[in-house]
């Protein structure tokens, strides 16, 4: 069998096409893995923010018990309202 110049070009084209397909699939798999990691990171950040918000609310409760008024009461009410709203919003999802 004679391997001519045209056959070499055709083989190179097939190898290039296969390489391109493999690269595209690899890129897609990496992209989905990165998205999954980002979703996990976002969930962890949300949990941490919730814990910090509860801690801040506890501090504001303590200040209210020490008869601090004004901005403490305002911040306490806003934070309690926000956490309550978020808890109800999360229950609907």
At residue 93, does pLDDT exceed 60?
no
Longest pairwise C-alpha distance within the chain: 98
Query: Which DSSP category does 61 fall into?
Result: H
- What percent of the chain lies above the pLDDT cut of 70? 95
Is residue 54 within 8 A of residue 80, CB to CB? The reply is no
Enter the pTM of the model: 0.65
At residue 63, does pLDDT exceed 80?
yes
């Amino acid at each position: 069998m004679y391997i001519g110049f045209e056959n070499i070009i055709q083989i190179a084209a097939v190898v290039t096409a296969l390489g391109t397909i493999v690269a595209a699939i690899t890129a897609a798999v990496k992209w989905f893995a990165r998205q999954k990691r980002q979703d996990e990171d976002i969930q962890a950040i949300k949990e941490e923010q919730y814990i910090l918000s509860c801690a801040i609310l506890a501090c504001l409760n303590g200040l209210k018990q020490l008869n601090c008024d004004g901005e403490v009461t305002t911040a306490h009410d806003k934070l309690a309202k926000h956490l309550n709203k978020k808890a109800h919003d999360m229950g609907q999802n």
